[in-house]
């Protein structure tokens, strides 16, 4: 039984078919990866899954429900949360406040609860603050909690975005190039964090160019090229696939973990 | 059929006002293309065109053609002053769109109030450019000022088209519109183009203000409604296309004239603004524009 | 800022400046109550505008959205109060809620489609909204008396009794202001307030985190309209007169000037800005033309030289004394309106 299944999804921009009837399925409790050269349509596929764009054809089913074309915030409320290729933090808030704002889906209070500051509204706020502390510690940013988000290093900002996404209590987390811009140490830390996220019961689907990271954490890999799915399988299978080697144009030996084909 | 005549008469005057909106709309586009800025002080140029001409006419005793010419040049200079004093410092700093709008809106208020201090709050008007009897076609009377408006507007639009197609400066401005970074790399002085676009746009606004004043009136506070109408014209035309803005202006003028027939003259701005709101909601990219 | 736990304690110097401000404000109000007269009127205006600007701040500072048409809602509040209390002899405390309710409904009806617009379009649409309402106030003269305006509006009061003098009116205005600021502060420090801050920071990220961006923008717009209508209605009863001129575009520019002077996105910024701008003596009364001229020019200068508001200059001063983290967080907080409103 798959948590997410993508069935023949297509997206076009003018004459360009950015995603070309792609199908795949994500099993719960796993880490899967989407790889492919620049412009292959990976981010576009994320946009389609998370509701930021509507596919021109195809179906996206999350946890048994058809979510095709649903508004992003509704999809998030169902437990499918994404991050962005270009980090999208709330720049004027501190790290902790970023995560607190991410706790939106954990609460329910609206205008009246805020005005009356009901007991449950107070509890929600306190819970959000506690969740923020816990998640910042989880990604290793506890010491940065009260810094403005913009004062963090790039790697820390990426981790903060992950922590904030976790605050939305996802069941499936989509990460768009979480390791971009990270140094080797940070990437290693990220890999361990990803395993810990799965251990919390969250399924992970990530787009990544860093092959050594992908090979290390992902149990299944989908390879896109020019919008088409050209391969899918375990890391070993994908590494041996001639179509994949062709797509990467002999540039790098995937097995060697040269992740810089697209740097 | 008196009703048909009345309708046609209304449409004709609507087209006349539409030319004016079109000129103002082109003014918006000229600056927007050169800089990506929407100048919310565009209305002051229209207001100043009429007011300065009036002052030169009544206070300095200049003949109307000379007064009009001097006014257009003066307003173009004022456009450059706004650009230098308000817009360029913000533009250099890459200020947000919101800050730019707010600053040009503040400039609008400042100039409005200065005009109020200098000229008082009484509405003023200008004599018609020539006092021949209105042209009569069937039962429809076409005022001579309307012919002036049509003639000068069309002439200006033609001249602008030539300017953008043939002259170095015009081509440079078009290059800026297509891609400012690339234009800068090609050695086009982008900042100077910004100043020039303000001068041109201010001059166009002034001409519009001078043309329209004999048919209605001008006062220190007529700017904003004209600016909004011009903005609507530009939007109808897809924002950025000068010809589109001109066509959009004519459409708006006609729609407004029809609204006056239906609801009365008092609500003509309400009608224009409602058209703006409705239109923005239905087709934010303009009639002729593609979705961004 | 968001919760006590996330704010580093301010240093002595950083705490001193606001304390001084509060003390000065309190002394001024106390003096006004003793001395009466002109200063009471000035402070009354400051309180009215502080309410208006608090609403503006809610939409712009907290939520990062643009509206140049808040005068429309002030006009609706003011005119509803004026017409109902003069032509129909309604009591003040029946007319006022009706005006506020009408403004809220209009905000709902206009905001629902309009807030989808972005950038220049939203700016122009809201500017147009202000113009439309002003134009209707001019043209619908059977009800609004056109350009002449409506005079002899009864002062604030309840249960058939009017407040006896200007000082009592000022007390009522200050109570209203306190309520307005209290509400703003409550809303800011809540789940709702967090959602608004998220929208100001990044609409896409907010959406991805499950925040219904359109809905929350609409809520913020309606709240801001309620503030504007409340201020407009209080204005009608405090001054006793409304006209289309009163609710013109200059009201919006003045509001923005106050917001920039006081500090965008902060709870008390509108208070500080409204007080400072209202107090600048030569800009008040007498030379109304000079007044708007001065505000407009001041706003341009601030936008060019202190884009995050005058408050950011004050923070530069306190930064030397404060812990670096706290100061950085404080300055970052003020930039929200500027950065967010651009979207
Ligand atoms: N909104 C859009 N409008 C038009 N074209 C688009 C749009 N978004 C993406 N594209 C195009 O679609 C193709 C796929 O882009 P996408 O961003 O999905 O690639 P990607 O696989 O994420 O690449 P990268 O590794 O560089 O992030 C590209 O050719 C891109 O230029
Ligand atoms: Mg991508």
**What is the value of ipTM here, to two decimals?**
0.90
Cβ atoms of residues A95 and A36 within 8 Å: no
Residue in chain A closest to C334 (alpha carbons) equals A92
Q: Is a pLDDT exceeding 80 seen at residue A119? A: yes
Q: How does pLDDT run across C11-53, given as a tens digit for each residue?
A: 556 667 667 777 887 888 887 777 777 788 888 889 999 999 9
Q: How confident is the model at residue C311 (pLDDT cuts 50, 70, 90)?
A: low
For a ligand 1 pocket test, name from A10, A44, A46 the mutation site with the most ligand atoms within 8 angstroms of its C-beta: A44
Ligand 1, atom 11, lies closest to the CA of A18
Taking an 8 Å cut-off on Cβ atoms, the answer to whether C296 and B110 are in contact is yes
Share of chain B above pLDDT 90, in %: 38
Contacts of A164 in chain C (CB under 8 A): 205, 209
CB distance from A101 to chain C under 8 Å? Answer: yes
Pick the atom of ligand 1 nearest to A40's CA: 21
pLDDT in tens, C184-194: 999 999 999 99
Q: How confident is the model at residue A41 (pLDDT cuts 50, 70, 90)?
A: very high
Cβ of A228 less than 6 Å from ligand 1: no
Residue B253: partners with Cβ closer than 8 Å, 6 or more residues away:
B14, B15, B16, B17, B18, B19, B20, B21, B22
Q: How would residue C146 be classed by pLDDT, with cut points 50, 70 and 90?
A: confident
Query: Which pLDDT value is given to residue A214?
Result: 93
pLDDT at C275 > cutoff 60: yes
Nearest to C191 among A72, A88, A124 (CB): A124
- Asked if the Cβ–Cβ distance from B98 to C68 is below 8 Å, we say no
* CB-based contact C120 B101, cutoff 8 Å: yes
Q: Give the count of alpha carbons within 13 A of A111, CB side only.
A: 9
Task: Look over chain C and give the mean of its residue pLDDT values, rounded to a whole number.
Answer: 79
Comparing C-alpha atoms, which of B208, B192, B169, B173 is closest to residue B72? B208
Tokens standing for residue B162: 């030539």
Higher-confidence residue of C323 and B18: namely B18
Residues 130-159 of A with CB under 8 A from C: 132-133, 145-148, 150-151
B-C interface (Cβ pairs under 8 Å ≥ 3): yes
Note the helical H segments in chain B: 2-35, 42-58, 64-82, 88-92, 97-119, 144-166, 168-178, 180-185, 190-212, 223-236, 242-263, 268-282
**pLDDT score for A97:** 95
Give me the mean pLDDT over the A64-90 stretch. 95
Tell me which chain B residues have a C-beta less than 8 angstroms from the C-beta of C265: none
Burial of A216 (0-12, 13-18, 19+ CB in 10 A): middle
Among positive and negative, which fits the CA dihedral B128, B133, B138, B140? Answer: positive
Nearest to A93 among C5, C191, C197 (CB): C197
- Contact call for C129 and B117, based on CB within 8 A: no
The whole-number average pLDDT for the span A94-121 is 89
Confidence of residue C310 (pLDDT cuts 50, 70, 90): low
Per-residue pLDDT tens for B243-258?
889 999 999 999 888 8
Inter-chain residue contact C333 with A92, CB threshold 8 Å: yes
The answer, yes or no, to whether residue A88 has pLDDT greater than 50, is yes
Ligand nearest to the CA of A36: 1
List of chains touching C (3+ CB pairs within 8 A): A, B
Q: Which of A194, A191, A176 is nearest to A86 (CA)?
A: A176
Q: What six digits make up the tokens of C190? A: 């809540």
Residue ranges of domains in chain A: 1-79+170-263, 91-169
Residue C201 vs residue B286, higher pLDDT: C201
CB-neighbour burial class of residue A184 (10 A; exposed 0-12, middle 13-18, buried 19+): exposed
Could you say which ligand is closest to the alpha carbon of residue A262?
A: 1
Q: Ligand 2: distance of its center to the CA of A30 in Å? A: 22
Residue A18 CB–ligand 1 contact under 6 Å: yes
Angle at alpha carbon of residue B97, lines to B91 and B101, rounded to 5°? 90
Burial class, C30, CB count within 10 angstroms (exposed 0-12 / middle 13-18 / buried 19+): exposed
Radius of gyration of chain B (CA): 19
C194:A128 CB<8 A: yes
pLDDT category, A258, cuts 50, 70, 90?
A: very low
A–C CB contacts, 8 A cutoff, strictly below? 159
Chain B nearest-CA distance from C100, in A, is 22
Q: In angstroms, what is the span from residue A43 Cα to ligand 1's centroid?
A: 7
- Residue C246 is predicted with a pLDDT of 86
User: Ligand 1, residues A11, A20, A43: which to mutate, most atoms within 8 A of Cβ?
Assistant: A43
Compute, in angstroms, the gap from residue A152 CA to the centroid of ligand 2: 23
Phi-psi region of A104 (alpha: psi -120 to 50; beta: other; left: phi over 0): alpha
Token representation of residue B92: 């250099």
- The pLDDT value given to residue C319: 45
Q: Which atom of ligand 1 is nearest to the CA of A36?
A: 21
CA distances from A88 to A262, B265, C203, C206 (A): 22, 50, 9, 9
Residue of C116, C244, C254, C303 best to disrupt the B interface, most CBs of B under 10 A: C303
- Residue C160 pLDDT exceeds 80: no
Residue A42 near ligand 1, beta carbon < 6 Å? yes
| Least confidently predicted of A131-135, C69-73, C338-342 | C338-342
Q: What is the CATH number of domain A1-79+170-263?
A: 3.40.50.300
Per-residue pLDDT, C33? 78
Q: Model confidence at C283, in pLDDT bands (50, 70, 90)? A: very low
Least confident range from A48-62, B186-200, C204-218, C324-338: namely C324-338
Two tokens at C112?
Answer: 């629902």
Q: Residue B37 CB: number of other CB atoms within 10 A?
A: 23
Chain C residues in contact with B279 (beta carbon < 8 A): none
Pick among 1.10.3470, 1.10.260, 2.60.120, 3.30.70: CATH of C4-342: 1.10.3470
Tokens 């990506």 sit on residue: B36
Measured by CA distance, the residue closest to atom 22 of ligand 1 is: A43
Which chain B residues have a beta carbon less than 8 Å from that of C127? Answer: 40, 105, 224, 228
Looking at residues A167-191, what average pLDDT do you find? 93
DSSP string computed for C71-82: HHHHHHHHHHHH
Residue-level pLDDT at C192: 94
Nearest CA to ligand 1 atom 7: A13
Domains of chain B by start residue, with CATH: 7-127+141-282 (1.10.3470)
- Closest-approach residue (CA) in chain A for C194: A101
């Amino acid at each position: 039984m798959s948590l997410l299944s993508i069935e023949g999804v297509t997206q076009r921009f003018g004459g360009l078919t950015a995603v070309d009837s792609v199908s795949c399925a994500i099993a719960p409790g796993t880490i899967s990866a989407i790889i492919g050269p620049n412009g292959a349509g990976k981010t576009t596929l994320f946009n389609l899954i998370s509701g930021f764009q509507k596919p021109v054809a195809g179906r996206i089913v999350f946890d048994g429900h058809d979510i095709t074309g649903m508004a992003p915030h509704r999809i998030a409320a169902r437990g499918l949360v994404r991050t962005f290729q270009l980090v999208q933090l709330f720049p004027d808030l501190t790290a902790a406040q970023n995560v607190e704002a991410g706790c939106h889906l954990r609460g329910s209070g609206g205008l009246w609860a805020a005005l009356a500051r009901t007991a449950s509204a107070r509890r929600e706020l306190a819970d959000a603050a506690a969740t923020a502390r816990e998640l910042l510690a989880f990604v290793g940013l506890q010491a940065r909690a009260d810094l403005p988000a913009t004062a963090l290093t790039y790697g820390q900002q990426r981790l903060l975005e992950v922590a904030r996404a976790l605050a939305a209590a996802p069941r499936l987390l989509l990460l768009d190039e979480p390791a971009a811009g990270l140094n080797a140490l940070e990437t290693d830390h990220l890999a361990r964090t990803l395993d810990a996220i799965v251990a919390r019961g969250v399924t992970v689907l990530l787009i990544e160019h860093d092959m050594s990271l992908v090979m290390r954490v992902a149990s299944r890999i989908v390879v896109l090229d020019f919008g088409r799915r050209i391969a899918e399988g375990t890391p070993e299978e994908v590494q041996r696939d001639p179509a994949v080697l062709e797509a990467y144009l002999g540039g790098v030996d995937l097995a060697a973990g040269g992740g810089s084909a697209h740097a | 059929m008196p009703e048909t005549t009345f309708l046609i008469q209304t449409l004709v005057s609507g087209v006349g006002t539409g030319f004016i909106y079109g000129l103002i709309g082109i003014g918006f586009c000229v600056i927007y293309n050169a800089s990506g800025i929407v100048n919310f002080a565009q209305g002051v140029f229209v207001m100043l065109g009429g007011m300065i001409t009036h002052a030169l006419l009544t206070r300095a005793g200049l003949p109307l053609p000379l007064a009009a010419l001097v006014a257009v040049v003066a307003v173009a200079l004022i456009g450059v002053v706004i650009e230098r004093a308000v817009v360029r410092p913000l533009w250099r700093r890459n200020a947000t769109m919101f800050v730019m709008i707010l600053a040009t809106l503040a400039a609008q208020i400042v100039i409005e109030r200065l005009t109020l201090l200098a000229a008082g709050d009484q509405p003023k008007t200008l004599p018609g450019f020539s006092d021949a009897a209105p042209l009569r076609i069937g039962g429809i009377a076409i005022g001579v000022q309307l012919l002036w408006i049509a003639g000068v507007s069309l002439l200006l639009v033609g001249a602008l088209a030539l300017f953008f197609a043939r002259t170095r400066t015009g081509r440079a401005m078009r290059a800026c519109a297509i891609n400012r970074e690339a234009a800068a790399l090609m050695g086009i002085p982008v900042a100077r183009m910004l100043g020039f676009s303000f001068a041109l746009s201010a001059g166009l606004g002034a001409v519009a203000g001078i043309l329209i004043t004999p048919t209605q009136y001008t006062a220190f506070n007529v700017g904003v409604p004209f600016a909004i109408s011009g903005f609507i014209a530009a939007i109808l035309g897809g924002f950025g296309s000068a010809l589109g803005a001109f066509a959009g202006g004519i459409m708006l003028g006609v729609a407004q004239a029809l609204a006056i027939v239906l609801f009365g003259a008092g609500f003509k701005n309400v009608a224009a603004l409602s058209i703006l709101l409705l239109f923005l909601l239905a087709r934010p990219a303009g009639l002729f524009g593609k979705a961004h | 800022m968001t919760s006590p736990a996330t704010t580093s304690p301010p240093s002595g110097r950083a705490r001193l400046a606001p304390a001084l401000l509060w003390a000065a404000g309190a002394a001024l109000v106390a003096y006004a109550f003793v001395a009466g007269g002109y200063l009471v009127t000035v402070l009354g205006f400051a309180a009215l505008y502080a309410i208006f600007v608090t609403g503006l701040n809610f939409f712009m500072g907290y939520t990062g959205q643009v509206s140049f048409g808040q005068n429309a809602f002030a006009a609706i509040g003011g005119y509803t109060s004026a017409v109902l209390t003069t032509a129909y002899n309604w009591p003040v405390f029946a007319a006022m809620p009706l005006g506020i309710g009408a403004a809220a409904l209009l905000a709902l009806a206009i905001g629902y489609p309009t807030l989808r617009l972005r950038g220049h379009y939203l700016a122009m649409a809201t500017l147009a909204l202000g113009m439309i309402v002003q134009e209707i106030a001019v043209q619908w003269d059977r009800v609004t008396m056109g350009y002449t305006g409506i005079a002899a509006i009864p002062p604030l009061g309840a249960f058939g009794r009017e407040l006896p003098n200007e000082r009592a009116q000022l007390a009522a205005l200050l109570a209203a202001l306190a309520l307005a600021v209290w509400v703003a502060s409550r809303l800011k420090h809540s789940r709702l307030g967090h959602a608004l801050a998220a929208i100001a920071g990044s609409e896409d990220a907010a959406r991805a985190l499950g925040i219904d961006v359109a809905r929350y923008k609409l809520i913020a717009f309606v709240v801001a309209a309620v503030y504007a209508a409340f201020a407009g209605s209080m204005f009608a009863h405090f001054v006793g007169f409304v006209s289309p001129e009163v609710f013109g575009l200059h009201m919006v520019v003045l509001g923005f000037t106050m917001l920039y002077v006081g500090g965008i996105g902060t709870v008390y910024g509108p208070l500080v800005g409204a007080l400072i701008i209202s107090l600048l003596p030569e800009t008040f009364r007498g030379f109304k033309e000079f007044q708007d001229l001065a505000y407009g020019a001041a706003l341009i200068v601030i936008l060019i030289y202190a884009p995050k508001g005058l408050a950011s200059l004050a923070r530069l001063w306190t930064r030397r004394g404060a812990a670096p983290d706290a100061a950085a967080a404080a300055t970052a907080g003020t930039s929200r309106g500027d950065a967010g409103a651009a979207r």
